Amino acid sequence: MEAAFALTIGVLTACGLFLLLRARTFTVVLGLTLLSYAVTLFLLSMGRLVTGRPPVIVDGAQYADPVPQALVLTAIVISFAMTAFAIVLSLRSLGLSGTDHVDGVERP
């Protein structure tokens, strides 16, 4: 399970970085989104991948760590705001320059 989870995080990070380096704004926004998914999964993995443990404290039982869960919730909110800002910024750039190239200049 841990290997599949780590592989998923690695693939999401690699695809996100690849899309970030593209020359079009839509692919940059997709790259940011994939990278934020990878960060969210990484933060989730900080709480250890276990099943069968109660989420609340019971006498003598181990419980799930609430800090990674809070970090994941915060990362989701921040990534949503960042994605919305990047979309608005790319639409504004498209409206001003007439192209969706990240530099604003279409190269042949």
- Count of residues for the chain? 108
pTM of this prediction? 0.80
pLDDT given for residue 58 in this prediction: 67
Q: Which residue numbers in the chain have pLDDT < 50?
A: none
> For residue 33, what are the domain limits?
2-97
Instruction: List Cα–Cα distances, 16 to 41, 74, 107, in angstroms.
Output: 14, 20, 24
The tally of domains found in the chain comes to 1
pLDDT given for residue 104 in this prediction: 72
pLDDT given for residue 2 in this prediction: 82
The enclosing domain of 41 has a CATH number of 1.10.287
Q: Is residue 21 assigned to a domain?
A: yes
pLDDT given for residue 1 in this prediction: 77
Q: Is residue 23 assigned to a domain?
A: yes
Do the beta carbons of residue 106 and residue 99 sit within 8 Å? Answer: yes
CA–CA gap between residue 76 and residue 84 (Å, rounded): 12
pLDDT given for residue 15 in this prediction: 96
Q: Is residue 105 assigned to a domain?
A: no
